[in-house]
Amino acid sequence: MAGAARASSSLLDHATLVLLIALVAAHVPLPVRAQDTVTAGRPLSGDAKLVSRGGKFAMGFFQPDGGVSGRWYVGIWYNNIAVRTPVWVANRDRPVSDPAASRLAIAPDGNLALLDPSGSPVWSTNATGNASNATVAAVLLDTGNLVLAPASNASDVLWQSFDHIGDTWLPGGKLRRDKATGAIQGMTSWRARGDPAPGMYTLQLDPAGAPQYVLLWNGTRKYWLTGDWNGRFFTGAPEVAASGGDSGYSFRFVDNDRESYFTYSFADNSTVYRFVTDVSGQVKGWFWVEAFQRWNLVYAEPKARCAVPRGCGAFGVCSDAAAACACARGFTPRDAVSWSLGDTTGGCVRNTELQCGNNGSAAAAAAGSGTKVDRFFRMDGMRLPEDGRVTGAASSDECESACVGNCACSAYAYNGSCVLWNGELQNLEEGYGNQLAGAGSLYLRLAASEFPMARSHKRRTVEIAVGATAIVCFVLAASIIVVRTAMARRTKRIQGLTITTAEGRVTRFEYRDLQALTKNFSDKLGGGSFGSVFRGQLPNGGAAVAVKKLEGLRQGEKQFRAEVSTLGTIQHVNLIRLLGFCSEGGDRRLLVYEYMPNGSLDRQLFGATPPTLSWRARHHIAVGVAKGLAYLHDECRDRIIHCDVKPENILLDAGFAPKVADFGLAKLVGRDFSRVLTTMRGTVGYLAPEWIGGEAITAKADVFSYGMTLFEIVSGRRNVEHGKSEPDSSSSGAGDHAATATATTFFPLLAARRLVEAEGDVKALLDPELGGDANAEEVRRVCKVACWCIQDDVDARPTMAEVVKALEGLTDLEMPPVPRYLEVLAGRPMHQIQQTT
């Protein structure tokens, strides 16, 4: 098997954000207890720092990465990670010049204050009711919260940093509204990378009083909102949902007489997670993975980069298609370093200054004589800036002359009326069609030297017009063909539809037809990764169908239909068959599949009273799923990576034959990392390490997920439901030992250990419900395959075609190494595990 001898080198896993951290984070030993308190007689100065009791956070003087030399701030950061990451800054807009001569101390009035070298206060808690400086203390807690309270009663909080959040919202903090004062606690971005002064972007509760978050630019303009909290999730951001039980985290909204606020927390205190209003204008969720020594992004909104006002800065052009900013022609980033780090708000500057200002009023005369002092670059399909000035020019030529004659004019546009823009251009966005309001062609003023070989834009306009005419004619002809085809299809009403749809074709349904088939979507079969599924019945005694209402689609109509057409051509006995689709408007996208009477594999394995699947049935399911995935990876015209292999997406027909579902849907929905994390919440982690590490996703990611699924097929339980304590390997009795093992040990770890035992009883790994009734060699082979599939090293994993051969006994497998993440989980190296067993 390819790569079998390679050592495992990376990390697993994700079930929920908490389980991910628990499995992947190699915990760092806590430091010896250090000072965590500032008192009247013990200020903080110079290189000294506070360290919280558990060692998680530190506080002291620091200079931000990329900041201006000589500007020092007092802040809180993570103490145990390699990358210094400030989570709170006291003196955001008033740095001090010399930390050795500055002090963070308890002032005579009992407040915590930052004093500059002259002794003048730079920052203060400004708390009320403090008795004297001798009776209070400031303590840094292991939550990252700095608390000022009487030394004799720490619970009587006078002031806390959690009530004065900067750009970072930590677990346990509140973004709140004080109902007595009306004050709203927001989370405001830094001004720029390296500059913690308050920026232009703030996340806060809706000033109008609605139970939702809004992102504001300049404190006034709303550009993204979560939608109202409905008791379970935000209607516009369903991935931020309340959770409980064994999910490991909670997110809740509290509304009482004194205040209203949202807060979140993790059950595992070792979780290192932060929620930030970024300088880019997006809110982002990050967690730290120790094995990778970096922060990993799991959430970002708004996803449409161009929705952020002034996100690309002056003369920056935003493109949602590329999800990035670029400088307009003739411009380069003002700060290349910040730009490379994702902070594009500083915008762009000209490569060559305009000549108009050098010539003064001579520019107008030059324009009249035909000599171009400055020239104009045509930018088509642009969203035009909002702050333009309308003039009385009656033609495009007059509009151009008006701009040329004004040295402050940066650009013009003419679409029946002339609009001029002076100074910096903000909120430039490409990709708009001219038929949309506020869109059109923008003529950007550049120095003539930017056009050494360029023709005039007027000549280009004629050429473009001729080309556009030809394109329009072609599009009209193609449209006529498409319309006629669509009309013909619409005449085939649902009464004539049967399951004998021609191979490679899918039927287009009208939404009202699917409403009728599903009795207005009343018989819900379940909720999948990309939407809810309902049972339907074709008329005239026709077959049952499953109708999936897709959610979160980002594609246009044409692209959606193209993808559906591709999915309709995929035919394999172990892949669910797509029969039809519906696409009406932007929010009515549905897919019609063949109906699977025995539901999904997870219900058969994990249901409260499931019918027991025999080992023969389970082995048949494992082989069938492998064949279906092998077809997707190697035999389709366009390789399809599933991205979400798990028992919920394996359906069973009347004879319990498996069919893989939801393949290709990641492309339809516009799958991204945060969405996958969300859709896989609540079940065992199936994500391969490369998902977490931000590496390229290949078919080997499906192999990893399949391996995790194999373990569950063997044990009959969720991998995550097994504990972490090691079982007594001396137990006898297959059934008893299996029950003990499945109750106490993370199953992939148990299976890996059993495989390396000289006399390991692999049948003890079986679901106790099977009573040991299985072929021991098949069980061993399946566990070997599963262990190979979940190797950290992508190249060490087999292909799905190799998996099929191995499961069918056509190839003999070497003994797989224990993946490194399992060794980390066990807390011991492999040789110690072998000595124990």
* End-to-end CA separation in angstroms for the chain: 26
Name the amino acid, one letter, at 22: A
Cis upstream peptide for 257 (omega within 30°): no
Q: Where are the beta strands (DSSP E) in 111-247?
A: 112-115, 121-124, 136-140, 146-150, 159-160, 168-169, 175-178, 187-192, 195-205, 213-217, 221-225, 233-234, 237-241
- Letter string b/e over residues 17-37, b meaning 16 or more CB atoms within 10 A of that residue's CB: bbbbbbbbbeeeeeeeeeebe
Residue 517 vs residues 370, 392, 509, 513, 545: alpha-carbon distances, Å: 70, 60, 11, 6, 9
Residue 89's beta-bridge partner residues? 75
Residue (of 722, 716, 724, 730) closest to 759 by Cα position: 730
Comparing CA positions, the residue from 685, 682, 676, 675 lying closest to residue 24 is 685
Cβ atoms of residues 7 and 817 within 8 Å: yes
By the 8 A CB rule, do 280 and 49 touch? no
CA distance 501 to 311: 49
Using CB atoms within 10 Å of the CB of residue 340, give its burial: 0 to 12 exposed, 13 to 18 middle, 19+ buried. exposed
Residue type, 448: A
Helix and strand numbers, DSSP H then E, in the chain: 20, 42
Q: Which residues are catalytic?
A: 644
String of DSSP letters for 761-774: -GGGGS-GGGTT-S
Amino acid present at 432: Y
Whether residue 411 contacts residue 402, with contact meaning beta carbons closer than 8 Å, is answered with no
CA distance 89 to 94: 10
Residue in 560, 723, 704 with CA at minimum distance from that of residue 644: 704
CA 172 to chain centre: 22
Write the single-letter amino acid at 85.
T
> At residue 161, what are phi and psi to the nearest 5 degrees?
-65, -25
Amino acid letter at 53? Answer: R
ω before 647 within 30° of 0 (cis)?
no
Strand 658-660 and strand 650-652: pairing?
antiparallel
CB under 8 Å to 500, separation ≥6 — which residues?
Answer: none
Residue 724 is labelled as binding a ligand = no
Q: Which residue has the tokens 């069609």?
A: 433
252 Cβ partners below 8 Å, 6+ apart? Answer: 242, 262, 263, 264
**Rounded Cα distance, 807 and 791, in Å:** 17
CA angle 82, 88, 89 (to 5 degrees): 110
**CA–CA separation, 752 vs 745, rounded Å?**
11
Binding residues: 549
Q: Return binding residues for ATP.
A: 549
